[in-house]
Chain A
């Protein structure tokens, strides 16, 4: 290592602070130099070398673990950081650039964490730094979406913290991250669900679908690379062979493809296909054989690169045209031919075409499922593999760049975006056609696997061609559902609409109680005291929140709107953030009660 005794994550995190103060030209140079330097520095850290440990308050902490899985994800997040930094080079908004690089640093920290306390600290940093990629969009909807995102991730952090505390007690003061078994104490359950929220399991997945399409064109590239894969990294060290993961993963591989077919926002389609891909990884970890785990990790590695590439190509379209709905796009191959080619490379990789990266990793999980005798799971995964080609492989490039010509003309993507896409595209083809060079040697288990045998190549090509045939035939027969401007309901309905109903009910009930008590007391003094406390609290909140709004990028008018809505909410007695904090306290109280009265 070039920088001895300096945690690799802190190169990115402190480097990010540097970006905040440099003038714009220098900032652009530093934005590329810092992650490249961090990557070059990371090359020196070999798997199996001495981990970096220290003792704090009698706990052994491992800041840098050097297991093969840690190193693999360390590499992956460094590469992703370089690509994302180049892609976002033109962004002048400091909040975005600084938080983006810190976010990458937090992900590296999670990848290398060897104990649950270190993990928890980086886990929280991951949540907090990532949300700015959503808020920075400054659209009407991104503020609220960011809050919903943050609530879910803070919940995940709370579960992780409680899990770490229980882990400490249940393992006699040992905090090292190790294989766990569900049902043996509280800690495994808490950590299991903390990881589940971050890896977007069904019912927890809505934060991903909700927020990624709301983020900035460059933000989605950062978001898609780090958060969910950090969770996969930890799951692969803690819950290998947990059968529940097989079924969770099968569900994740299946349900999003139906949504993706009818979704109009193309970045939301990518969000659904992301859950579908993580499903394969969950199945791999759940099966837990050497081949399955290797497959899950190889697929995570490839997924960051091809999903990043797809998000980058769509980000370029959004950046140039300002539009992201399939119904409004089309014919862009005329204006953005290079982006079109990169998008098709990403699409071929996610669909697992021979010579592209998905082909060499998805099939490892499939083979492992088959060898384990999971016929139903295997059939579902094959269905999902066909389905993902249908919506991510065909739909994304087709509706954005071909389909009917929307008449929109714009410039090709900026040079820095093209370079970033080029790097990702290179890795997609390189890992796909030469997996033995870089990808397979990094995997933790030593099991031989040969993706390029005649049966696999021919059957996979047949599967893909006939999936495409279905698309063409359904298009020609006009059965294929047209792209429509719409919102499709998902389980977030329960807290987005159900929540509003609850609001209204609570509004009626609480105001009713207010009126009744006012009538009862009738005293002016009481009324004045009530008034004082009511608006006093909201004044205090406004005073505290104004800098936060400023950070979120609201201008004076926006801040005034926020202020009004806050006063309104105060009248109803319903603070969303206060509520979360309240639930967090209740959760912690419950947990400690369970623990002490067990």
Chain B
């Protein structure tokens, strides 16, 4: 019997294929975006897991105190002194725009790990690894760079330039885009171009040997911690599209239920038990759910495949975390995706099921009473909206109590709650507006009808409008944030890159080079920089009393950056806050003061005027914080001092040097002279333009995924609106027929739905603007600080807002135009027929 019931229920969709399409489209898009983002996250997690599984042992690094690059002699010297150091020779290769890290190791001296499981690797014997022709070990997902598959890979020797790599060997436990080989093999390929570092097992040396300094592996967070916020952003967007998709589903289900009420009552009258009917509807839902989930998974995977390379390059440029560029999905991913789709569907269909169980056999002929029930529904929506509003307020209070830079999850929940509050209040608001319109248009019957008819349509349109509101507001928020970030970032880049030429060389080359530069007539100014490390021991802030470094979070390694305070730089260097004005801040920096980056200010709750106790070469010293500067894109906290201070007080080395030439100087000739004098490779000399281009490229990639997901969400909302309108087009014609019979001309008749829907969409769009601006503010001022540690100025783009409104309007018009066109083509007789049916 139940089969018969299900089949009868399903037969409804044969008469209304539009509703079926809408239902499946809703499920499909909801599931597709969600699955794709989950696929991306799962793949990234898998890549991190490979890292973390082996992360138990960290290495400390030794460098020479005099800044000269390490050589094999240093290695021999330190080994002879009995220090357990191991050499690492690093270089990189770029093949088809993919940067591969080449790591040369000495298996014989690598710090042994005690806790590791003794798995026998398939990497072959030690002898093969360290004897020519050596081996290149790589993970299988790196193979695609060489256009090789697994079968061809073993023993292959891909050529790189004029040389060939040692025969390939696959290792599943290596991170992507990393080639590991014997240190002698790396030397054979790269020679002096490879950089030597000396590592020891973390904590193996209690103090560095004389003449060397030790960088401990303590302050670094794991890639998972760093990238957490990024993945949370993606998940939030995906969740949003899931919600929008489910709105469509609920609309479709509600409509189908409405229209099948009579059928259901007939069933009951024929003696079908209520439970059977409920079960039949449940089966129907499951069937749709499975189809929708399958469709969603397939297209979600396709989408993820398209997006993953961008995500991977974003993660690698932002956090230097390598994620493989092909999907790797664990079993729970598949299960999870289907479960989310089915769960969402059941949630969306719960209303329908509820009504099916409460079905009154004798309540025949009440199908037109829905208008009253809708009033109740509006009331309930208002109540739910009020509840969501209360939650929003609660979350906002909670957020204001949290220290700045924390509460990423709370912020996202706040955005979600805010969206729901507004979405839930939208139908009552629209209803009230239409009520008002009806009253205002009392004297214009057609106008009054227009408003009243709109009000009648509202129950069916409300969900689509809610979806539209959410999508529009989010779209506005995200695009304003991205646009604002873009402007701020480019401006900041302009300010920070004061010199037209930059030299990136090893510290040992930079020392003589900086001296040489001062003697060159073409050189107007040199801007040396340096970098180093220190430890933050204590904080003395105006807000609180002295905080001691007993908290482990405080006693951590902090990067120090050194710049030269020449006017070329100081006049442009952006500062966010100063203690007593910008000129005084720069004066202070030359003395016992430091600048801190915004990330540090947020994380340590520091303000200009506070002081920090830092570990220096002369012992612990108090420094005053003179200013806070923006440092976009840097995941770490940083202190800024002058180069002189850095070299005298902290363990550090020279970093890149900026050069300003006289305006009449021949840049190319100077470059040439510089390269010849110091035997520099072409890529050590970069001009400002190249850096800007590289940075902009990273930036564009970072937000390409956000943009793609955002655009897709808006598309889904448009689809929801279109599907809803199409689904009820049939009914609309009946109501219009009456008007036609009353003598309204067909041209006016065709125009009416356009005015109705266009107006409704426009109102929704206008309501979305303040909501969108609020979301933008939450994104740039709250979520960004929590996720990345910096705040962006709130910037709005009127043109974007106009485009958004226009999009909403056009979608509504387009959706209304199709039924209108149909109406235009239908003969008046047919319309009347429909009415009498």
Tell whether A pairs with B: no
